[in-house]
Chains A and B, each alone.
Chain A
Amino acid sequence: MENRLLLKHYNEPGYHTLDGYVKFGGYTALKKALKMKPEDIITEVKNSGLRGRGGAGFSTGMKWSFLPNNNEPRYLLCNADEGEPGTFKDRYMMELAPHQVIEGMICSAFAIKSKKSYIYIRGEYYKPYKIVEKAIQEAYKAGFLGKNILGSGFDHDLDVYRGAGAYIVGEETALISSLEGKKGQPKLKPPFPAVQGYLRKPTIVNNVETLAAVTWILNNGAAAYRKFGTEKSTGTKVYSVSGNINKPGVYEVDLAYPFKDFLENECGGMKEGFKFKALIPGGSSCPVLTAEEALKSTLDYENMASLGTMLGSGGVIIIDDKQCMVDLLNVLMHFYHHESCGQCTPCREGTGWLEKLTSSIGKGKSQLDDVATLDKVARHMMGTTICALSDAAALPVVSFLSKFKDEFEYHIREKRCKVKGNCHAQAHH
């Protein structure tokens, strides 16, 4: 059953403007927050059990409390560089309810005592960028941003920064590098951004959905948020669903919602003539689940982890029986090869190697032991780099090979596709 906490008023016309937002109870959380002590807000968020919605699922309140206790300037960055293939929830939220995000940002900035924050928005998101920019101007005019917000004595400035179109900048340290004006490359940890981030000052990077959820939590209290979901995965999660289903789109459901129900109720089931074959639950970098595994699963962090995959950013990709897995993997590898920043050797060279291998398997130009090589290369890329991009490229390979090996071998043996006979991967040559 869809449970709209964040997306409650999204269908109201004019909700993306300040007036529309205020009409449905907007900026009450800010007013409430400005009366609280910053430490209390952090405690509240911690108590709500809110976990980062960008992919890693790390506790937000915990992240905030890592900030060193000093008077250094600190920064809040909103990670709106939504590049994960299969994910489009942040765009939806920024287009339809920019003020929700902005309000969440001001509250969070107040909580971590930051005077300056940025929304780092993906370069390709031009429309959301315009909307968010307009919303910020409205907020400035209404006195929600700027000097002495609502008479509380709290000053805050918010800027939007457009990226230049790199997937890797979705990683927080790379985002910081890019924001600093450098090449968008992840930085070594330690030091962590909470200690030394943007301009070498303590920095918190949060996802759009996380910040929007902060608004809801401050409005309704941590206890109300905890009512949804499970003990460890609290609240609701926004999913962007794609694939050959009847109703693709953005849905918000409680965490720990059974996937079978999700597929049948919210997504309206598979399209006529298509059969559910596999599921990528959290954007392209998550390992794939077969239909049997997926139909037994529930959509929460723990259950996904127990199945060896991740909830990630909530980019649910539903793969039907007409899709060739070799082709799909080739497309993914092309993406990661293109997007590797080139800093660490295993990822820089490995992603290229993986793409070449998958494409030669797709074309039927390789030997059977290339499947073993593919697996070996992917396994040795895992966990060897600064950021998680090499893992993101390697995990799908390993899971595709372990679950759909027959399709790969068929491609090599028969020099054609098992499901289609003539798939896209073959057509490349």
Chain B
Amino acid sequence: MPKLTIDGKPVEVAAGTSVIKAAQTLNIPIAHYCWHEGLSVAGACRMCMVEIEKNPKLQIACNTPVAEGMVVHTNNDKVKDAVKWALDFHLINHPLDCPICDQAGECKLQDYYMNYGLYSPEMNQRKVKKSKAMSLGDRVVLDQERCILCSRCVRFTTEVSKTHELGIFNRGDRCELSTFEGRPLNNNYSLNTVDICPVGALTSKDFRFKQRVWFLKDFETLCNGCSTGCNVTVSYNQNGVFRVRPRVNQEVNGFWMCDEGRDIYKHTNKEFRLDQVIERNDQVGGAAVKGKPVALAIQEIGKSLSATVKKGGLESIALVVTAQYTVEEYEALFELFKNTVKSPHVYYWKNNEEDFDSFDGLLNRGDKNPNTKGLSDTMTKFGFKGTWEDFEKQATSKSFQYVVVAGPEDQSAYPDLEKKLEILNKAGEVIWLSSCKNEKFKNFKWQIPMKSFLEKEGTFVNFKGIKQNIKAGMSIIPTSLSLQEFSKGVFESMGGMA
């Protein structure tokens, strides 16, 4: 373990660590573009210059391994001058189209200019012109003029996704980032290149021109797109959620996330949400009546449940759950069913059985539920064993009078949803709990709006068994409930039957 001093602060790191990483442990910022912790070292941007004593030239911090007794300066005049000029070299051919650049506001060129630059430019020559707004694939747009050729994206496609679509062509200041002919950037991890692009060269087609980043607020949560449980940051404002980006967690997802997971925000936005209680009212001929207050609806559900229980129709009450809710929610719901309703009919609804166990080798899993493991653990804890097959058998042989369904939040992950809804149609009264609209489902008694994963707290257990917490970051549908709130409401309106 070599000991070294950076800006007068002693630090001890493992041998072979680079100076830039050692400085990171001390929270000393070193400007860099090409260096990324998850990628190999390129040493091309020459921004991370540091002065190492007894070394005549400034060294790049990203490729200099630490050595015993090294004395590093990151902030003296010599270093500042070198960084300033390295930045100037980056900027001389930059088109300065920040007004129309999506990266503006989180651009490293802007950040470092404010930190290290603040000079008046001396470049009075013509700039190099390259092509703008090139489509690289289905999700990514490239602006070659803004590109600083840090090669992060190229290294990403060679080292992480191993799809090798991107390359740097030509030489000198005529260098251009581009895809190889006939190989568009269409892999399932392509948007990571947008994240790691330190400037506005690569932008996401989905997010492009939707919002300026300074209008957005971020909060940290988990991706509920599959059982990997990638850590993500969600950006939102009063108009809804706009993008999802990965957050570093070496245990779970490293630095990356898949493109599929970037779309999880879409079904949380208002237009896709079930925003009010829908009741199928027999008094008006089975038409759907909207807008009953949630509390009232739950009271009615509780009353009719307790009536059914009192009639001794225990066997006719069933609960079907999908693995898209938190552990705490399952516990509350199972508690209600085990101790209050006392129904043993709890079934686990598993989606897409065929590719449930598939895995693409990096992050994306076939199990499109965030909490499969958490659900099965909680079911075992309560002694429930039912699966969808059991439910199907039971439902066809004898009809359930009452079925509570904790339906999927992301319905696109349930490709066989319609088929399964047909089976549910056979049951008597279905209480459909979901955060999303489902216009095809007709035979319900109640549709109760549920909170999406952005609006509630709880625990997801990923496929490895790692427990991760989500926090309520925002409120999109104020009337929506979590399963805890639902269970509590039902419990109270059933009169706390024991």
Check A-B contact in the complex, CB < 8 A.
yes
A residues whose Cβ falls under 8 Å from a Cβ of B: 166, 183, 188, 190, 337-346, 348-353, 356-357, 360, 366, 370, 373, 376, 380-381, 383-386
Q: A342-B149, A345-B90, A384-B82 are in contact. Are A353 and B123 (CB under 8 A)?
A: yes
Chain B 379-415 interface mask (CB, 8 Å, partner A; 1/0): 0000000000000000000000000000000000000
Determine if B171 is an interface residue (Cβ-Cβ < 8 Å): yes
Whole-angstrom CA separation of A350 from B89 in the bound complex: 6
Determine if B173 is an interface residue (Cβ-Cβ < 8 Å): yes
Contacts of B77-104 to chain A: CB distance below 8 A: 81-82, 85-86, 88-90, 92-93
Determine if B148 is an interface residue (Cβ-Cβ < 8 Å): yes
Task: Report the minimal beta-carbon distance from A414 to chain B, rounded to whole angstroms.
Answer: 21
By CB atoms of chain B within 10 A, which of A342, A343, A345, A384 has the most? Answer: A345
Contact between B125 and A357, CB atoms less than 8 A apart: yes
Query: What residues on A are CB-neighbors of B85 within 8 Å?
Result: 346, 380, 384
Whole-angstrom CA separation of A376 from B85 in the bound complex: 10
Instruction: Please count how many residues in chain B sit with their CB below 8 Å of the partner chain's CB atoms.
Output: 36
Q: A351-B173, A384-B58 are in contact. Are A345 and B44 (CB under 8 A)?
A: yes
CB-based nearest A residue for B62: A188
- Identify 9 new A-B residue pairs, CB closer than 8 A, beyond the known A341-B171, A384-B58: A190-B63, A190-B65, A342-B168, A344-B43, A345-B45, A345-B90, A380-B81, A380-B89, A386-B43
By CB atoms of chain B within 10 A, which of A338, A351, A384 has the most? Answer: A384
Contact between B171 and A342, CB atoms less than 8 A apart: yes
Task: Report the minimal beta-carbon distance from A372 to chain B, rounded to whole angstroms.
Answer: 9
Contact between A342 and B170, CB atoms less than 8 A apart: yes
Q: Which of B42, B65, B81, B149 contacts A348 (CB 8 A)?
A: B149
CB-based nearest B residue for A352: B173
Q: A188-B43, A345-B148, A349-B89 are in contact. Are A339 and B49 (CB under 8 A)?
A: no
CB-based nearest A residue for B47: A345
Interface of B is mostly: loop
CB-based nearest B residue for A187: B43
The 5 closest A-B pairs by CB, nearest first: A342-B175, A356-B125, A380-B85, A340-B172, A352-B173
Query: What residues on B are CB-neighbors of A346 within 8 Å?
Result: 46, 85-86, 89
Query: What residues on B are CB-neighbors of A385 within 8 Å?
Result: 46
CB-based nearest B residue for A357: B125
Query: What residues on B are CB-neighbors of A386 within 8 Å?
Result: 43-44
Q: A353-B92, A380-B85 are in contact. Are A348 and B173 (CB under 8 A)?
A: yes
Contact between A349 and B93, CB atoms less than 8 A apart: yes
Query: What residues on A are CB-neighbors of B125 within 8 Å?
Result: 353, 356-357, 360
Whole-angstrom CA separation of A295 from B21 in the bound complex: 52
Query: What residues on A are CB-neighbors of B41 within 8 Å?
Result: 188
Interface of A is mostly: helix
Contact between B43 and A338, CB atoms less than 8 A apart: no
Whole-angstrom CA separation of A188 from B34 in the bound complex: 13
Chain B 31-62 interface mask (CB, 8 Å, partner A; 1/0): 00000000001111111010000000110000
Determine if B282 is an interface residue (Cβ-Cβ < 8 Å): no
Task: Report the minimal beta-carbon distance from A359 to chain B, rounded to whole angstroms.
Answer: 9
Contact between A349 and B173, CB atoms less than 8 A apart: yes
Q: A342-B172, A342-B175 are in contact. Are A383 and B45 (CB under 8 A)?
A: no
Contact between B173 and A342, CB atoms less than 8 A apart: yes
Determine if B122 is an interface residue (Cβ-Cβ < 8 Å): yes
Task: Report the minimal beta-carbon distance from A401 to chain B, rounded to whole angstroms.
Answer: 16
CB-based nearest B residue for A360: B125
Query: What residues on B are CB-neighbors of A345 within 8 Å?
Result: 44-47, 86, 89-90, 148-149
Whole-angstrom CA separation of A346 from B47 in the bound complex: 10
Determine if B174 is an interface residue (Cβ-Cβ < 8 Å): yes
Whole-angstrom CA separation of A381 from B89 in the bound complex: 9
Query: What residues on A are CB-neighbors of B81 within 8 Å?
Result: 380
- 18 A–B contacts from the bound complex (CB under 8 Å): A183-B168, A341-B172, A342-B168, A343-B44, A345-B47, A346-B46, A346-B85, A348-B172, A348-B173, A351-B172, A352-B172, A353-B89, A356-B125, A366-B124, A380-B88, A380-B89, A383-B58, A386-B43
